[in-house]
Every structure is written in C-alpha cells, then in structure tokens.
C-alpha cells in the first residue's frame, strides 16, 4: 500500500514538473506580435473580414510585417513584407515551410490530399512535381502547344468576336457589346481540355456561342468549388461546424467534386481507349500525345505509382488552377486598359509596328512586344489572381524574422500587400505598365506564381497564353467602354481575385485587320 502511494506521488510529481517545464518552454517562445485578445474556441477568426487580404493588411499596419494569429486551434503566421517572404522561401527554411495545411475542405477536392498543389512535401510530391514540370509543362511542350492548341483557340475566339461585330452579310457593323469573362474562360478551358485529353470544344451549330456545353459544365463546377475552399472558411478550422453543416457547404462540396471526378475519369477512360486502338498502328510521338496519354504511358511501366487516381488528382489540380487564374488575369488587363485608352492605344501601336495587319501575331512575336509584357506584369502585380497564394505549413519548429514559428503553424503570404507596398512601388494603387519598361522594375519583388519549391509549375504556359490572347484582342479589335462611366474595378472576395462585376465592353474589328478577320 505504502509503495503504491509513493509511486502515485512520484508520478504526480513527474507530471507536474514536466508540465511546468513545458509551460516555461512555451513562455520562452518569442512568437510574432498579434492581437492580444482572442475569442474562445474561435481565436482570432472573427477578426478576419472579407476580402481577407485587406483585413490582413490592416493587421500588419498595426502589428508589423509578421503577425501571429490563432485560428481556432491552429497557429497562423501572416507575412506582408517582401523581405520576410524572401527569407521564408530560401535555403533550408523553404523546406521547413514546404508543407500544406490539410483543411477538411481540401481533402475532398484533392483526392485525399494527393493533388500537386495540396500534397505535403515528400517523395510523392517530388515525383508529381517532376512529372508536371518535365513531362507535361516543359518549355519545349509549351512551345509546341503555342503553335497548335493555343494558336487554334485564339483564332477561334477572334473569329467569334469578329462575327459578333458584323452584320448578317459579313460587313462590319457598329461596335458589338460583349461580355469578356465567359469568352476568356471558354478559351482557357478549351486550351487545357485539348492539352489534357485532345478534346476540343464544339459549338453545336451556333458559331457565336460563348461556350460549349462541356465548357459550361466544367465552368459551373469550378465556380461552385472555389467559394467552398480557402483559409477563411470557418468550418475548415472548427470541426463542429463541418459536422453540423448548417450552411450545407460540406454536402455541396462533396456533390460538386463528385461531378468533377466523374468528368475527369471519363476523360482518362477515353484516352486509354485511344491508346489501345493505336497499339497496333503507328505510335504517336510525345509531342502529339495528350497529357493524360503521357501519364497512361507511365502507368504501363509503374502502375503502382501512376494509378488512375494519381492521374485524376494531377489533371484536376492543373485544370482548376489554370483555367480561372489565366482568364481572370486577361479580364483585369482589359478592364484596366479600357479605363486608360491611351495605354491601350500604345499597345496597339507596338503590335502594328512589329506585326502589321497582314497576319495574326504568334509566339515568335511576343519577345518583340515589350510593352505588352509590361501590361501583363502590371496586371499580375496589381490584380494577382490568388492574392493570398496557397497557404504553407511548418513541418518543424523554425524562425522567421527572428520570431519562433512552432511546427504545424500555417503560413499565409499576402502577395496583395507585397505587390502594393509603397516602400517598393511608387504610386502602388495606380495601373502603370511603364514602371516595367527598360528594366526599371528589375530586382523588385513579385510573387504572382509563388516562389521556392512550391512555385506554380504552369507559369510558362500561363504567360504564353496570356500574351497570345491579350495580344490578339488588341491587334484585331478596337475596344471602348459601355457608356461614359469607368469600368468598375471592384474585386470580389474569395481565394481567386475575380472582378465583382464581369467585364462588358464594346468591340469593333480594326480596319487594318479586315482581310485577316475575313479569312481567319
């Protein structure tokens, strides 16, 4: 009895000492500054207003470039400084911060966290990243796609716009009112669908239709998924809210992801049938194979790695990430140019001087159109498609800017704030492509595609697509605003920086391009 008493007392004393040591160690941590008062259970979540990037700018103004927040049970560190962002994504610290937080909402959309953008840093992620960059999105493949897929879809978009601006006998009419959002999404989606599975949009007899039925279905799926994701979702941080699902968000996400997965697996089965049909015929070259076709070839040699789920996760990730961000960036660029017609005219004059009016510009012209690139860069700076980037997570304890960051902490990088920092950019709220002319912005920090190991592998394809699309719109048509009022530049709140009001503009074929547009 006495021995049991002493054993219990010793155990209690050991627990007490260990707890005190843990508390002392915890107190010794130098966490970044942040709001002193947190709400029970929710922490600082109620302080985060929409749009999130603006709310975090306000907190940074109060507490500094590195802010600590408690989001329910999770620590979060917010970065609003270019200097600190560089520190985070270089050297060994880049590895320590290369994980992703596994939100419940991400589980559904990422095939149980195996998609490229969501998977944690490790062997699986490295393999998927290598496949994406070397096999699917290499510079050579982007060049080939520019001459074929992208060029074809740009011509199709220009042709539809030209028809919308002409009378029934084909003669140029008054400027037509067009909504660019759906047309740009249609093009981005068509490019990716053909790259992935060699499936082109068909317009069911209506040459002027904005979107095919397939594109419309996928557009609806992506637009339904995006609002249900993101670091600001309360039910991602408070499991009880997901279980109760008062808003029905969890059920909606399961339903819409199921529809998306059915479409992707249908594409995979279709490409598999094509490969089987070609087995006894002439083998297709890697350049002419679809991305799914390349992945199915890899599946033959290593079926335990390149499963159908692996392929679906990679394709679903690239499709979701690439369609909205590319089309949204071009929409913002056109909106900004419509509010400053002199800049639009300057871009057209550059294209006229180099390309002329006898042909449509192509990939070989892009290096000779520096002002067009300045417009795209300024759009990426001011209207970053993913203003908060994707969140990172610390896999180990580390230090950022002299502060302690415990393992498991979420890292939020506010690219929106960094790109509008008045200490770096003169008149940061002003749309001014000239700031990028003649290397004036060289060395200035921009991260529209992220940085470090988790940088977007589709940057080359996105930049090439945006250059060809924006260039063709400016070369082929004169654009003006609908009415006298400036285009509304209000952004929506969400993970992707959409325009709150989709862009509508007046479009009229340019006289010097009439011969090209009649034969395109």
pTM of the predicted structure, to 2 decimals: 0.89
DSSP state of 219: H
- How far apart are alpha carbons 454 and 182 in whole angstroms? 30
| CATH number, span 53-519 | 1.10.630.10
DSSP state of 226: G
- How far apart are alpha carbons 243 and 489 in whole angstroms? 38
pLDDT score at 200: 59
Closest C-alpha among 354, 362, 453 to residue 89: 453
Q: How far is CA 24 from the centre of its chain?
A: 42
SS (H, E, C) 360-385: CCCHHHHHHCHHHHHHHHHHHHHCCC
Q: Sign (positive/negative) of CA torsion 319, 191, 308, 123?
A: negative
- How far apart are alpha carbons 56 and 415 in whole angstroms? 11
- How far apart are alpha carbons 471 and 330 in whole angstroms? 10
**Tokens, residue 191:** 């490019």
pLDDT score at 14: 44
DSSP state of 506: E
Residues in the chain: 520
Terminal Cα-to-Cα distance of the chain (whole angstroms): 97
- How far apart are alpha carbons 497 and 52 in whole angstroms? 11
pLDDT score at 233: 67
**Phi/psi at 410 (5° precision):** -90, 140
Helix (H) or strand (E) holding 214: helix 213-225
- How far apart are alpha carbons 98 and 95 in whole angstroms? 5
For the chain, residues with pLDDT lower than 50 are 1, 3-26, 168-170, 202-210
- How far apart are alpha carbons 19 and 25 in whole angstroms? 10
The SS3 call for residue 384 is: coil
pLDDT score at 282: 58
**Tokens, residue 28:** 């010794």
pLDDT score at 75: 95
- CA 184, 286, 154 angle in degrees (round to 5)? 20
Q: How far is CA 404 from the centre of its chain?
A: 30
* Residues 145 and 195 sit within 8 Å (Cβ to Cβ): yes
Domain-wise residue ranges, the chain: 53-519
To the question of whether residue 456 is assigned a binding role by annotation, the answer is: yes
């Amino acid at each position: 009895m006495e021995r049991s008493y002493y054993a219990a007392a010793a155990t209690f004393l050991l627990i007490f000492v260990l707890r005190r040591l843990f508390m002392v160690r915890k107190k010794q941590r130098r966490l970044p500054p942040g709001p002193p008062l947190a709400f029970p259970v929710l922490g600082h979540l109620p302080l985060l207003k929409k749009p999130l990037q603006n709310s975090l700018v306000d907190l940074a103004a109060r507490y500094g470039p590195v802010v600590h927040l408690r989001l329910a049970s999770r620590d979060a560190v917010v970065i609003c400084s270019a200097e600190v962002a560089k520190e985070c994504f270089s050297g060994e610290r880049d590895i320590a911060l290369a994980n992703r937080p596994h939100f419940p909402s991400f589980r559904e959309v990422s095939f149980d966290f195996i998609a490229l953008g969501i998977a944690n840093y490790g062997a699986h992620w490295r393999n998927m990243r290598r496949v994406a960059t070397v096999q699917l999105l290499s510079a050579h493949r982007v060049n080939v796609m520019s001459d074929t897929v992208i060029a074809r879809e740009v011509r199709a978009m220009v042709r539809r716009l030209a028809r919308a601006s002409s009378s029934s006998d084909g003669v140029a009419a008054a400027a037509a009112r067009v909504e660019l959002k759906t047309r740009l999404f249609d093009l981005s989606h068509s490019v990716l669908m053909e790259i992935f599975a060699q499936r082109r949009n068909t317009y069911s007899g209506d040459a002027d239709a904005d979107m095919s039925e397939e594109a419309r279905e996928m557009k609806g799926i992506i637009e339904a998924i995006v609002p249900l994701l993101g670091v600001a979702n309360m039910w991602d941080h408070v499991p009880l809210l997901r279980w109760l699902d008062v808003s029905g968000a969890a059920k909606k996400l399961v339903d819409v992801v199921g529809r998306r997965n059915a479409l992707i697996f249908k594409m995979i089965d279709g490409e598999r049938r094509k490969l089987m049909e070609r087995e006894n015929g002439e083998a297709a070259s890697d350049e002419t194979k679809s991305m799914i076709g390349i992945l199915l070839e890899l599946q033959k040699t290593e079926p335990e790695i390149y499963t159908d789920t692996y392929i679906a996760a990679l394709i679903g990730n690239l499709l979701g990430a690439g369609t909205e961000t590319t089309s949204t960036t071009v929409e913002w660029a056109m909106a900004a140019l419509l509010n400053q017609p002199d800049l639009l005219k300057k871009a057209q004059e550059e294209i006229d001087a180099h390309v002329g009016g006898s042909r449509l510009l192509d990939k070989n012209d892009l290096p000779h159109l520096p002002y067009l690139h300045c417009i795209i860069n300024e759009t990426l700076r001011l209207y970053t498609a993913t203003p908060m980037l994707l969140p990172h997570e610390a896999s180990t304890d580390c230090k950022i800017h002299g502060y302690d960051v415990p393992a498991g902490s979420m890292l939020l990088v506010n690219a929106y704030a960094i790109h509008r920092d008045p200490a770096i950019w003169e008149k940061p709220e002003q749309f001014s492509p000239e700031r990028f002319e003649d290397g004036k912005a060289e060395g200035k920090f921009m991260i529209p595609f992220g940085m470090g190991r988790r940088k977007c592998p589709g940057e080359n394809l996105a930049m090439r697509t945006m250059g060809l699309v924006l260039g063709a719109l400016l070369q082929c048509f004169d654009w003006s605003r609908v009415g006298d009022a400036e285009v509304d530049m209000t952004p929506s709140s969400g993970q992707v920086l959409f325009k709150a009001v989709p862009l509508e503009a007046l479009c009229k074929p340019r006289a010097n391009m009439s011969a090209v547009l009649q034969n395109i």
